[in-house]
Structure formats: structure tokens, C-alpha cells
């Protein structure tokens, strides 16, 4: 009995570094820690990816708006944009222009139907763009809310096992008790480390995505108004 306690004491005393604490942990706590680490890596990957994509998207929108309001003819703009795969406002513009061209080339009779078709096409494109913008943000939200609980679960399990070990060794010395509890608390620490950036990034990125979506919607409405006026002018000219 005494030897067991002694060996337990030595094992605990051997290392108090983070690495030693991790290796001393039980398999459940280890799995929790590794899962939280993976979640943290994925969270940060999403954060990096999204912030880069949003900044690129924003710059594309600015560039397109500049081109669009520069007085350039819609035909020329369509020709330059349709050659490459456009995103954002470009995609909306291309989708609307394609529908417009198809209708007029085949000589559509009803201007109201054309208007409706163009709006539908733009809505679909807008939805696709918004989906692309907001993809994976849900994961951030999940990590932000669930990671602390997962870490807490690891802590509870770790403290439980360490108390069982204390009961078995029949020693209440703080030097024996402390390493087990520190090891258990490490799980909660990792959970918080993963959750805090996830929550902050989710709030920031979803707000950004909302702003970008608003800009796209505004453009779609504006462009739809322009096309509607063009349709009216063309039908009146006929």
C-alpha cells in the first residue's frame, strides 16, 4: 500500500509540464483534448479562409461597381465578364444578362415574363453566392458553444479519475492531489482556447457576410430596375 502511494507520488512529481500532464491523462481525457485540438485547428482554418475570401470578395465588388458605373456599355461588360468565371456581383450581372440575351435573341413576346425570369435568375445566383459566403460559419458557431462543454466533460472525467486514484493511494497530500486536478483542468483550458476565437470569429464573419449579402441584394435590385427600364424602352420602341 505504502509502495503504491510512493510510486504514485513519484509519478506525479516527475512532471508538471503541459506535455507531462497530457501524457498522464486517461484515454478519455486524451481523446477530448485531441478532439478539441482538431476543432481548434479547423476553426482557425475556417477563420483564415473566410477572412481572406471576404476581403477578396469585397475588393471584387468594389472593382465591379467601379466598372459598372463607369458608363461602359452592358454588352461590353458582359463580354469581358462571361469569358471568365465571375463571382459575386459579376455572377449576378452575368446571370441577368444571359437571361436577357436569350429572351431577346429568340424574340420573346411578353416583357413581364422576361422581367420575372431575370429576377428569378438573379435570385438563384444571389442565393448561391450567399451560400458560398456563409458556408462553414455554422461550424464556428457549434465550436463556440460546444467546446467549453466538451472541455468541461474532460475535466470532470479527469477529476473523477484523480479522486479515485487519491482514494486508492489513501494520501491527501496536496502534491499528490494537484497534478491530477491540473491535468483535468487542462481539458477545460483547451476547450476554452478553441471556443473563444470561434465565437468571436463567428460573430465577425457572419456580420461581414450579412453586409456583403446586403450589397449583392442591393445590386440585384438596382440591376433589375435598370433591366426593367430597358425592357420598357425596347417594347415601347417596337
Partner 1 sequence: MKPSIAASAVLHAALLSWGLWSFSSPTAFDVSNAEALPVEIVPIEDLAQSLVGDDKAKLSDKPAPKPTEKPAKLPMPAEHVGDNEVDLDSPPKPQPKPRAVEQAAAQKQTQKAPDPQVAAKDAPPPPPPPPTPKAEPPKPEPAKPEPPQPQVAETPQPPEPKPEVDAVEQTIAAAAEDAPAVAPVPRNVPLPQVKPQPPKPEVKVAEAKPVETKPQDKPAETRPADTPAKTDQAKPAEKKAASKETKKSEKNTETESEFNADDIAALLNKEKAAGGGAKRSTQQASLGGERNTGTKLSQSELGELQGLIKKKMKECWAAPYGVDSTESLRVSIHMRLDPSGALEGVPSIVDGGSGSTTARAAGDAALRAVRRCAPYNLPTDKYDAWSELTLNFDPSAMY
Binding site for partner 1 (CB under 8 A): 16-19, 37, 40-49, 52
The dihedral formed by the CA atoms of 74, 79, 83 and 87, expressed in degrees to the nearest 10: 0
160 burial (CB, 10 Å; 0-12 / 13-18 / 19+) is middle
Residue 40 Cβ vs partner 1, minimum distance, rounded to whole Å: 6
Q: Please, how many CA atoms are within 13 Å of residue 118, restricted to the half-sphere of its CB? A: 30
Q: Compute the residue count for the chain.
A: 238
Residue 11 Cβ vs partner 1, minimum distance, rounded to whole Å: 17
Residue 48 Cβ vs partner 1, minimum distance, rounded to whole Å: 4
Residue number, 26 or 50, with CB nearest to partner 1: 50
DSSP string over 50-90: HHHHHHHHHHHHHHHHHHHTTT--HHHHHHHHHHS---THH
Residue 72 Cβ vs partner 1, minimum distance, rounded to whole Å: 34
Residue number, 174 or 236, with CB nearest to partner 1: 174
Residue number, 24 or 103, with CB nearest to partner 1: 24
Residue number, 21 or 157, with CB nearest to partner 1: 21
Amino acid at each position: 500500500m505504502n509502495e503504491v502511494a510512493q510510486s504514485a507520488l513519484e509519478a506525479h512529481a516527475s512532471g508538471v509540464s503541459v506535455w507531462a500532464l497530457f501524457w498522464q491523462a486517461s484515454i478519455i481525457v486524451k481523446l477530448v483534448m485531441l478532439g478539441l485540438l482538431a476543432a481548434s485547428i479547423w476553426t482557425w482554418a475556417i477563420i483564415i479562409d473566410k477572412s481572406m475570401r471576404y476581403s477578396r470578395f469585397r475588393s471584387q465588388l468594389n472593382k465591379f461597381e467601379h466598372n459598372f458605373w463607369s458608363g461602359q456599355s452592358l454588352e461590353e461588360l458582359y463580354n469581358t465578364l462571361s469569358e471568365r468565371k465571375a463571382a459575386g456581383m459579376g455572377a449576378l450581372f452575368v446571370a441577368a444578362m444571359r437571361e436577357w440575351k436569350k429572351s431577346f435573341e429568340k424574340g420573346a413576346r411578353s416583357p413581364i415574363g422576361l422581367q420575372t425570369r431575370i429576377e428569378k435568375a438573379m435570385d438563384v445566383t444571389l442565393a448561391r453566392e450567399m451560400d458560398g459566403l456563409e458556408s462553414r460559419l455554422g461550424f464556428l458557431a457549434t465550436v463556440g458553444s460546444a467546446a467549453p462543454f466538451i472541455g468541461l466533460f474532460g475535466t470532470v472525467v479527469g477529476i473523477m479519475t484523480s479522486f479515485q486514484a487519491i482514494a486508492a493511494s489513501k494520501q491527501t497530500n496536496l502534491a499528490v492531489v494537484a497534478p491530477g486536478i491540473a491535468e483535468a483542468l487542462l481539458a477545460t483550458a483547451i476547450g476554452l482556447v478553441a471556443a473563444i476565437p470561434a465565437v468571436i470569429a463567428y460573430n465577425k464573419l457572419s456580420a461581414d457576410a450579412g453586409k456583403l449579402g446586403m450589397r449583392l441584394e442591393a445590386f440585384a435590385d438596382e440591376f433589375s430596375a435598370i433591366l426593367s427600364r430597358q425592357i420598357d424602352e425596347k417594347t415601347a420602341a417596337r
